[in-house]
Structure 1
């Protein structure tokens, strides 16, 4: 019986460590993301929202086919250049470990 209680205590300590590590990692990521997102929304960002040049370009693919009964089915697929927040966070974390020393692109 003493061996099973010891194994239960070790398992409980490992689970507690795993959950606490995951919770603090998630909390730190959320705080880091919200801090950087709020810092990026300054007064000039609201001006860019109304600027049509500042909006991301949409790319559309249109597929048209005719069914056996004579109906025409048109499918429009719209692609946006918007990354999910988790992708932005992962790229930011990656940039800390692998900095990009190349010159910025000229537009």
Structure 2
């Protein structure tokens, strides 16, 4: 009897956690699908792509151009953690360089 009661409590706890996580992910994805960064003051989200262009000329006179594009891709969980942190630690000043 005690094992069945413990099993029911554990199942309730796991299902509550699973549905909470699923609901949070759906809510986060629906609010962040606006196209732009959620937080305009976030300096990392506003950096965009960084391009480097290298041009060299061969012996035969051909020009070879190489374009390398660097993008800072931040995982969604990091953006979510930054958003949660901003609720508890509001900082109205400019972001630090550290």
Q: CA shift at 1:85, angstroms?
A: 1.0
RMSD: 3.0
Unaligned runs of 5+ in 1: 43-53, 60-77
CA pair 8-79 structure 1, distance change in 2 beyond 3 A: farther
Task: Find the partner of 1:9 among 4, 7, 13.
Answer: 4
**Equivalent residue number for residue 89 of structure 1:** 80
- Larger RCO of the pair (alpha carbons < 8 Å, separation 6+): 2
1:19-98 alignment runs, 5 A limit: 19-38=14-33, 40-41=34-35, 55-57=48-50, 80-98=71-89
Q: What is the TM-score when the length of structure 2 is the normalising length?
A: 0.52
Structure ID, larger Rg: 1
**Equivalent residue number for residue 66 of structure 2:** none
How many residues are matched?
70
Unaligned runs of 5+ in 2: 37-46, 53-68
